[in-house]
A and B are shown apart, each in its own frame.
Chain A
């Protein structure tokens, strides 16, 4: 140990840069410990009747850290959930039949509808501390993060290259080695990309749960969301700008300090051999690699954990182990069925209490919301398609704009809601049309993002052919760009529409300066029922919305996907 410390000192002597890096690292570790201690204090703090938000910009780092830690804790849960659920669904053919459709439904359930109930229940569970509120926030973010990660992991596991699977079988990898050496590395790339998406999606829910007020009860949590809400309530434009800047800074920092290095590091898990693609770089990772202390820490950690333990290939024990796994899986499956059965039973019992007249009202308002969702998706396409094509087709523009769009897309739209509503009111626009704008605010980026990616993926020879034969602008759009980005556009639509459904709950029903504004729609219906604690109506509305989303996915989006795959796929 002393000799390695001596080596570190020597390295610092030779490379002052390494010393600087290590100094900064040490400083941040100390800062982190301090911050985590204060976080612990916040979580176990006595439940306050109302939270006092300081609008001084000096308080922002603390609030940003609180918001960030909620997002990261929720992400850890999402990752754990993803690994367990995805693995189970991919390995157990029986459970797969339930787990995959269930995931599809979970993905479509407008979880915001459950938030009031969740908050109340958790606050009752922890009556004396902030724990309940914090857990509610983490759970809300979790529901915004987990599903697409789980889907991606499950799909990767199902798409493992058969020859590699055969190698693992022939050379008798046990399940641990299979998981660590084959399954996890193979799925890591798409899991990381989906994690980035999920983290961005999670902020949307974080902002809402941080600034949650139910009737005259204040359930706000100290964080960026509540800071923004307080600033808007006071009409403090300077503080609003600070909050938006802090949020953007947090997103950029997370991208640069966490995701970028991870993406660069994960390049070694690329499955395909082609070395032609541009490899991403990260200044932060290169800096970390200069550190003298980090290798020491890693070596110490590696000594603690035995790397890749040696397994005893014993036919009898391995088959016994498999037998045990099958039992556990079977047991879990029964438990799942029982839980689902009980849940469905409960919901049916609640739904029976809803009078027929109510149902009609719910279905009518569902039509309105469906219209808004489609309108906002259409409006988003109208501007994002040409803009995305322009950016994606020009290497210069895409270099500049792609990271910008990434950050903007991660920016949680609910943070902007108060400002937009104030502007709408000043212009005399009601929430009926205004809610479309609010929905658009969050979802248009998904369309733009996907169109850019699609335009960048158009093969150069197709573009050259279009140029060489002097296709007119219209011909190019109809014959080349449109078909080539169609698959990506459909992906964008599905994500955007899904987001718009969820957003309708907060966009159609708004409390602004103590005054309630509502549009006629299913989202408003859910929010209103939640506020009045009218559980039958709430359950009926949420079930209706979930059913509509699932139906719409099956009837429209999936068909469009199939069409895109069949007609416009570029790699067939």
Chain B
């Protein structure tokens, strides 16, 4: 325990880059120059929309996937291989289905080289800590989601880790159970005389991170980098309805909307740990990235707004439709790209075109949609290129290449899928899966 006091950081990422190859060979940058330190006795939350690399950062800190550039330090020394001070709780529970609760815990203890008596003792103790006493002989399939995650937590705690890593631990657990698990995890952490000293958690739930974390790391997507780090000094135990709590939630809302849906040129919030990471993306040659939203989600958003006087706060949309904010932001960005909505601050406002779209008949809607598509650089380019060809068609591979060139930081397969879905809805292109040909439709 002395080391906890003498070293300033438990674990630290310095200038970490993570790049993964895509199926088509193009590299995809998931983390770009990320630096972050985990201090003793704190709870850090990594917050951001999906695809911002928060799980990747967690895995880099755990030593599961070493970064391609930059370094991870553990107690000041460069990390080679696995981080010895980490226990991980997985989003999908990741329990061995063929082992009972107690076997799932004791199998990792045996890997530590403990004596059989010690294994049995510790397994029993941690299972009791998470409130699963009596369930030792049950198989995972006999347990509810919340119970399963308790086993996951017990397994991580049993190895007495300095740091507890939680990867979206409560997103597959029902809301009430999640509530009690959050409090229980904090209770376990708060006992200062024992491990874990610190918790690093990944989340997309703003209220959850404000409830749990001392520092909230807001990440931006494509490529993933640290937008800002927010200190949370609210006293524990925290009250979801306290004015300070709500104010912090609101501040996070602002940071996220400012980052994800900037009104003109927003001055970038610089952070002490990643001062160089802020650069305005070069738009000159690039086309618009297509957010991964379906046409029915976009029309759904427009119908929703239409039924509420044409505008609403984006986080209220998320709350009312029971969606995670990252998903709603994606849909809003898609609608904004098509000029159906505008987003001053946190508000989503329908534009003229958006109103025209909602009022139109199904057939007219497609015409409006088609015009909106042709305003987008990517669609226009593919369309014009196809028209110059005799068969009015473009091969899938060519389109993928264009996407990789024009939207370099996106997963080109996903963008292609969105392109096909949107184009089909607007009767702009036909796509034949078997031949891989994208054909411009004749409108008569």
Contact = CB atoms under 8 A, between A and B. Distances in A.
Contacts of A170: 62, 64, 82, 86-88
A96 interface: no
A182 B96 contact: yes
Interface residues of B, number: 31
A308 interface: yes
Contact of B64 (A164, A166, A185, A271): A166
A174 B119 CA distance: 17
A312 interface: yes
Contacts of A273: 97, 140-141
Contact of A171 (B99, B111, B141): B111
B111 A164 contact: no
A172 interface: yes
B94 A166 contact: yes
Given A171-B159, A172-B112, A275 B94 contact: no
Interface size bucket, A side?
A: 20 to 34
Given A164-B94, A273-B141, A313 B82 contact: no
Interface in A71-96: none
A481 B114 CA distance: 57
B90 interface: yes
B247 interface: no
Interface string A266-307: 001111110100000000000000000000000000000000
Given A310-B116, A566-B433, A177 B94 contact: no
A181 interface: yes
B139 interface: yes
B276 to A, nearest CB: 31
A270 to B, nearest CB: 7
A353 interface: no
A312 B97 CA distance: 25
Interface in B223-262: none
A177 B62 CA distance: 21
A270 B97 contact: yes
Nearest to A182: B96
A311 interface: yes
Contacts of A181: 96, 99, 107
Nearest to A318: B81
A568 to B, nearest CB: 13
B208 to A, nearest CB: 21
Contacts of A270: 97-98
Most buried by B among A161, A170, A566: A170
A173 interface: yes
Contact of A310 (B86, B98, B113): B113
A311 B113 contact: yes
Contacts of B108: 167, 171
A163 interface: yes
Nearest to A164: B94
Contact of A177 (B110, B116, B141): B110
A169 interface: yes
A427 interface: no
Contacts of B111: 171-174, 177, 311, 313
Contacts of B155: 167, 171
A477 to B, nearest CB: 23
A177 B108 CA distance: 10
A357 B62 CA distance: 67
Interface string B59-98: 0001010000000000000000110001110101010111
Contacts of B6: none
A273 B94 CA distance: 12
B115 interface: yes
Contact of B141 (A167, A169, A275): A275
Contacts of B159: 171
A312 B115 CA distance: 10
B94 A163 contact: yes
B98 A169 contact: no
A271 to B, nearest CB: 6
Contacts of B62: 170
A157 B108 CA distance: 21
B114 A310 contact: yes
Interface string A518-555: 00000000000000000000000000000000000000
A417 B86 CA distance: 65
Given A170-B88, A315-B81, A308 B110 contact: yes
A177 B112 contact: no
B96 A313 contact: no
Given A167-B108, A171-B107, A312-B113, 16 more contacts: A166-B64, A166-B90, A166-B94, A169-B64, A170-B64, A170-B86, A170-B87, A171-B159, A174-B111, A177-B111, A181-B99, A185-B96, A272-B97, A273-B140, A308-B107, A310-B116
16 contacts: A163-B92, A167-B108, A169-B82, A171-B107, A171-B108, A177-B107, A177-B111, A181-B96, A182-B96, A270-B98, A310-B114, A310-B115, A311-B110, A311-B113, A313-B113, A566-B434
